[in-house]
Amino acid sequence: PAMALPEGAAQFKLVLIGEGGVGKTTFVKRVLTGDYTKHYDATIGAEMRQLPFYTNRGPIVFNVWDTAGQEKYAGLRDGYYLKAQACIIMFDLTARGSYLMVPEWHKRISRIAADIPTVLVGNKVDVKERMVKARQIRYHRRVGIPYFDISAKTNYNAVRPFLKIACILARDESLRFTEAPVLLPAEFQLNEEQKRALEADRVAADAAPLPEGD
Which residues contact ligand GDP by CB under 6 A?
20-26, 123-124, 126-127, 151-153
**d(Cα 173, Cα 135) in Å, to the nearest integer?**
26
Per-residue x/- track, 4-43, Mg ion (CB under 5 A) = --------------------xx------------------
Q: Which helix (H) or strand (E) holds 36?
A: strand 35-41
Closer by beta carbon to ligand GDP, 162 or else 168: 162
**d(Cα 165, Cα 10) in Å, to the nearest integer?**
13
Q: State the binding partner of 152 from Mg ion, ligand GDP, none, CB within 5 to 8 A by kind.
A: ligand GDP
Instruction: Please identify the residue of the shown chain whose CB is closest to the bound ligand GDP.
Output: 23
**d(Cα 170, Cα 213) in Å, to the nearest integer?**
34
Closer by beta carbon to ligand GDP, 105 or else 139: 105
Nearest approach in angstroms of CB 26 to ligand GDP is: 3
Nearest approach in angstroms of CB 83 to ligand GDP is: 22
The answer to whether the CB of 42 falls within 8 A of the CB of 92 is: no
Pick from 58, 60, 8: which is nearest to 34 by CA? 60
